[in-house]
Amino acid sequence: MHVQEINSILNKESFTRNELLTLLQANDLQSDMLYKRAQLVREQHVGKKVFFRGLIELSNQCKKNCLYCGIRTSNSHVKRYSITDEEVLSAAIFAWEHGYGSIALQAGEKTSSHFTQRITQLLRKINKATRGELGITLSLGEQSIATYKQWFDEGALRYLLRIEASNRELYAKLHPQNSAHDFDKRIEALHALRNVGYQVGSGVMVGLPFQTLEHLVDDLLWMQEMDLDMVGMGPYVEHADTPLFQHKEMLLPAMQRLELTLKMIAILRIAMKDINMVASTALQAIEPHGRERALKAGANIIMPNVTPGAYREDYNLYENKPKMSDSNADYTKTLEESVVMAGFSVGYGEQGNAPHFKRRSN
């Protein structure tokens, strides 16, 4: 593939399957062209600001058993925790006081009415303590429509639910075959969230065993078809205490999984100009500056972990998950410096909702 051919693809507004495949196969030089183009689109459509979402990992208790995930219910090596309401509240206040416009509440999947009520109460308390100024994102798995509504009515704005792999056959290789891990139900959940009124986020893992470039092309087309407001894509990182670990010899080297993720981010930025896209923590697990590289490829969101330090060790979705304390003022400064070094600024005190959502709600 010649430089001119890549250039002519990059100047298009939308890509065919073949063009997407070509872009995913870009060599280093061509990738740089791809990132430059993505950067231009990003500047024009979402600007040069990076928004922080303080991530609070409420609990690592999960009823599901995804084959790739370190905190799956069958992993008995995990010390299960649930942080107290006071701890959640003080993490939220930390984020708010440091000018993070938003927080994200994340936990393993739980569907008891006790859990639903607890989140409802927490949303109320957080909004009261922060004058309703924080944009609150939920990442709490598949729930009933009534639950989505209840949380939305308490002021949650956004919901993240990754499809993980949009190809049905690949999805089936990553999950147990039962109704708790049903592909169609997950898609339905995404539609339900949108109908309730949330800004909806989804995304996939990149570099999974059994995953081909064709699958990644499917993912790119699927995300466009779903008209998502937010996307989170990260490299798959193996975890020794999971069933998928047995296929580790099929994997691309970690660095290549990272590069492929950057290409996915850049391509999607060009194709879905005004969405929010996160520079995921999993990138950082592979390379210390992975997140900054994602910003340069078109991502515009960072989720600094503000979970109390004592629990960090136990939210191990994958190996090498960074454990250092993001939740101190110094770290916010360091992170800001790295954002500025990468050529951007931090959107302090702003929720930073995706222009895409505003556009589609008009």
205 contacts ligand 5AD (rule: CB under 6 A)? yes
232 contacts ligand SF4 (rule: CB under 6 A)? no
Q: Which two tokens stand for residue 317?
A: 């979705």
**Nearest residue (CB) to ligand SF4, 100 versus 315:** 315
Alpha carbons within 13 A on the beta-carbon side of 254: 14
What's the first-to-final CA gap in the chain, in angstroms? 41
109 contacts ligand SF4 (rule: CB under 6 A)? yes
> Closest by alpha carbon to 60, among 298, 351, 318, 345?
318
> Closest by alpha carbon to 260, among 233, 287, 240?
233
236 contacts ligand 5AD (rule: CB under 6 A)? yes
Neighbours of 151 (CB within 10 A): 23
Q: Which two tokens stand for residue 59?
A: 């609990």
> Closest by alpha carbon to 315, among 54, 75, 67?
75
Contact 161, 137 (CB under 8 A): no
- Using CB under 6 A, which residues numbered 116 to 145 contact ligand SF4? 141
What is the distance between the alpha carbons of residues 65 and 73, in angstroms, rounded to a whole number? 5
282 contacts ligand 5AD (rule: CB under 6 A)? yes
317 contacts ligand 5AD (rule: CB under 6 A)? yes
Beta pairing partners, 55: 104, 305
Query: Which of 101, 108, 135, 234 lies at the binding interface for ligand 5AD (CB under 6 A)?
Result: 234
235 contacts ligand SF4 (rule: CB under 6 A)? no
Nearest approach in angstroms of CB 236 to ligand 5AD is 5
Residue 62 interacts with which of ligand 5AD, ligand SF4, none, CB < 5 to 8 Å by class: ligand SF4
Residue 218 interacts with which of ligand 5AD, ligand SF4, none, CB < 5 to 8 Å by class: none
Residue showing the smallest CB distance to ligand 5AD in the complex: 318
294 contacts ligand SF4 (rule: CB under 6 A)? no
**Nearest residue (CB) to ligand SF4, 179 versus 362:** 179
Residue 239 interacts with which of ligand 5AD, ligand SF4, none, CB < 5 to 8 Å by class: ligand 5AD
69 contacts ligand SF4 (rule: CB under 6 A)? yes
SS3 89: helix
Span near ligand SF4 by CB under 6 A; candidates 24-32, 63-71, 200-208, 251-259: 63-71
Query: Which of 9, 50, 66, 165 lies at the binding interface for ligand SF4 (CB under 6 A)?
Result: 66
Crossing angle between the packed helical segments 113-129 and 145-153, to the nearest 10 degrees: 20
Neighbours of 246 (CB within 10 A): 11
Residues near ligand 5AD (CB under 6 A): 68-69, 162, 164, 205, 234, 236-237, 239, 282, 317-318
